[in-house]
Amino acid sequence: KANMSNQRVPIEPQRVDAPLTQSATFLVVTATKKPDSINTIRSTLAGLDSLAKNVSIRDLSAQFACTVGIGSDIWDDLTSLPRPAELHSFREVKGEKHIAVSTPGDLLFHIRSERRDICFEFERQLMNQLGDAVSVVDETVGFRYFDVRDLLGFVDGTANPVGPSVPASVLVAGEDTSAEGGSYIVVQKYTHDLPGWGHLSTEQQEKIIGRTKIDNVELDDAESGQRSHKTLNTIEDENGEEHDILRDNMPFGSPGSAEFGTYFIGYTRRLWVIEKMLERMFVGDPPGLHDRILDFSKPLTGTTFFAPSASFLANLDSE
Ligand code: HEM
């Protein structure tokens, strides 16, 4: 017992490793200028775990999970704690033809469940607590499309890390002790030109993605010239080590208004890895040869967050 005080308090991450579900809500908000806004947000985030319990108990098989990400602009006011080393606002990436736009957002709530009603109910209770402390920038409801396909028709999420490589690629560790157990998040809301995409042959589409459409089998990397989406998003550091990210993309849309989209969400231990992916997609490798997926996909948003550990969140209110 005597040396208990020397032991480190265990750091519990948020549920960043929760599985892909049938339904997900992506809620991005900014803080309003009301005098109490920051306090209200702080106490809501500190109580997020009990808010989650209110709904998750109502169907334990529904795999409820909510992770919250905090944006760079609000970090200091909200936490008064050291900034995660890499945290900054989303930096626009300008290619010759396509631009990854940067859009505002102080908080991201990534809400997941097998049941749409559970996502809905959690968001309802959350918004009740936040009240006029926030204004909504974007709310996107994603759904499972057949065997985890995006609306371009391809299986999406295959190359994600599994098992012990999830925390290794997603959670900050000893390299930044005050951010330990946390994860950087980048989101982009894309809409697709589905008629244009439909004019391509299946073979052309497969070359763009880098996998076959029906069987989801990986194609070889191009030796030169135009690279596939898969190849452009394979990132190695200077030592030749490959760095994965965790993607929980969801389709969204409304055929009645001809809206067809993919909500991209990437979790990473190293923000630079996702930034490098965006540069390779939008500027191209070599520059000029951008990711052809972008000729049929346009990002409407682009925002970066940091999802601190659950322990960090729970202690937010304790000063
Ligand atoms: C792979 C779709 C945007 C990063 C894939 C695959 C598909 C896909 C179908 C192949 C299967 C798989 O491994 O999941 C899309 C769509 C997007 C999109 C529809 C939006 C229009 C992005 C963005 C990034 C990204 C913005 C990063 C900034 C990756 C990575 C892989 C991948 C890392 C795995 C590469 C590998 O095989 O190692 N994506 N993606 N994707 N995508 Fe995307």
Whether 273 contacts 264, CB under 8 Å: no
Q: 266 CB less than 6 Å from ligand 1? A: yes
How far away, in angstroms, is 151 Cα from ligand 1 center? 13
- Work out the average pLDDT over 94-101: 98
pLDDT digits (tens, 9 = 90+) for 31-80: 999 999 999 999 999 999 999 999 999 999 999 999 999 999 999 999 99
Amino acid at 172: V
- Work out the average pLDDT over 265-284: 98
Catalytic residues, by residue number, are 156
Nearest one of 54, 58, 72, 63 to 23, comparing CA atoms: 63
Fold of 8-314: Alpha-Beta Plaits (3.30.70)
Tell me how far apart the alpha carbons of residues 181 and 173 are, in angstroms, rounded to a whole number.
Answer: 6
- Work out the average pLDDT over 207-217: 98
Whether 44 contacts 283, CB under 8 Å: no
How far away, in angstroms, is 233 Cα from ligand 1 center? 7
- Work out the average pLDDT over 155-184: 97
Tell me how far apart the alpha carbons of residues 230 and 172 are, in angstroms, rounded to a whole number.
Answer: 25
72-79 vs 37-46: helix crossing angle, rounded to 10:
80
pLDDT digits (tens, 9 = 90+) for 12-23: 999 999 999 999
Taking CA atoms only, the protein residue closest to ligand 1 atom 18 is: 264
Q: 235 CB less than 6 Å from ligand 1? A: no
Q: Is the pLDDT of residue 318 over 80?
A: no
9 confidence band (pLDDT: 50, 70, 90): low
Q: What is the value of ipTM here, to two decimals?
A: 0.99
Q: Name the percent of the chain lying above pLDDT 90.
A: 96
Q: Given the CA of residue 188, which atom of ligand 1 is nearest to it?
A: 26
Q: 297 CB less than 6 Å from ligand 1? A: yes
Token couple for 296: 């049929």
DSSP state letter for 220? P
Tell me how far apart the alpha carbons of residues 176 and 304 are, in angstroms, rounded to a whole number.
Answer: 18
Q: Is the pLDDT of residue 2 over 50?
A: no
The pair phi, psi for residue 107, each rounded to 5°, is -135, 140
Q: Given the CA of residue 154, which atom of ligand 1 is nearest to it?
A: 9
How far away, in angstroms, is 173 Cα from ligand 1 center? 25
Mean pLDDT, the chain, rounded, equals: 96
Q: 233 CB less than 6 Å from ligand 1? A: yes
Q: What is the pLDDT of residue 1?
A: 37
Token couple for 131: 């009240």
> Which is higher by pLDDT, 282 or 5?
282
Omega into 286 within 30° of 0, i.e. cis? yes
Taking CA atoms only, the protein residue closest to ligand 1 atom 43 is: 229
The pair phi, psi for residue 186, each rounded to 5°, is -120, 130
- Work out the average pLDDT over 271-299: 98
Q: Is the pLDDT of residue 3 over 60?
A: no
**Whole-number CA gyration radius for the chain:** 20
First to last CA, the chain: 27
The owner of tokens 């997603």 is 170
Q: What is the pLDDT of residue 7?
A: 56
DSSP state letter for 292? G
Token couple for 66: 């909510």
